[in-house]
Amino acid sequence: MPVQRLKDFLDKHRVKYVVITHSRAYTSQEIAMSALMPGKELAKTVMIKFDGRMVMAILPSSYKVDLDLLREATGAGKIELASENEFQDMFPECEIGAMPPFGNLYEMDVFVEESLTGNKTIAFNAGSHTELIKLAYKDFTKLVEPTVIKFSHKTFA
């Protein structure tokens, strides 16, 4: 079952969503293949240390974060990828690395790669390595209110 906190939040806001169950997968490439979904439709959450605080960077699974682009776009001083040890306790109800892109539920800022804005839907980990949630991209942005910027490059199809 998806993270209850997220499910309750979506239900409270009357957002239509679908839960997609797939075989256990850890990388975004494996998840997209397991869920029979193009990489551009699957969003991954990358945790970034941003001037000493944790933020979420959300991008298509077929893209890679460019820390220099992110720094330039935000004017931040120091940006670096966070290790799992640094953020695992922030998402106690989630499997490590499977947190959903709802930073607003965890009191953190969310940055979305502008290439996702062209999608009608967005799918993402639902707190486990065996489930995704898929919903309308417009509902995601309405609920999360992310900052949209260009900060990544495509790495595979």
Whether residue 142 has pLDDT greater than 90: yes
Three-class secondary structure assignment of the chain: CCCHHHHHHHHHCCCCEEEEECCCCCCHHHHHHHCCCCHHHEEEEEEEEECCEEEEEEEECCEEECHHHHHHHHCCCCEEECCHHHHHHHCCCCCCCCCCCCHHHHCCCEEEEHHHHHCCEEEEECCCCCEEEEEEHHHHHHHHCCEEECCEEECCC
Lowest mean pLDDT of 54-58, 60-64, 137-141, name the range. Answer: 60-64
Residues 111 and 58: beta-carbon distance below 8 Å: yes
CA–CA dist 79, 157 (Å, integer): 27
Looking at per-residue confidence, does 54 or 2 come out higher? 54
Q: Domain residues of the chain, as ranges? A: 4-154
Whether residue 69 has pLDDT greater than 70: yes
pLDDT digits 0-9 by tens, 7-47: 999 999 999 999 988 878 777 776 776 676 766 778 999 99
CATH superfamily ID and name for 4-154: YbaK/aminoacyl-tRNA synthetase-associated domain (3.90.960.10)
The pTM of this model reads 0.90
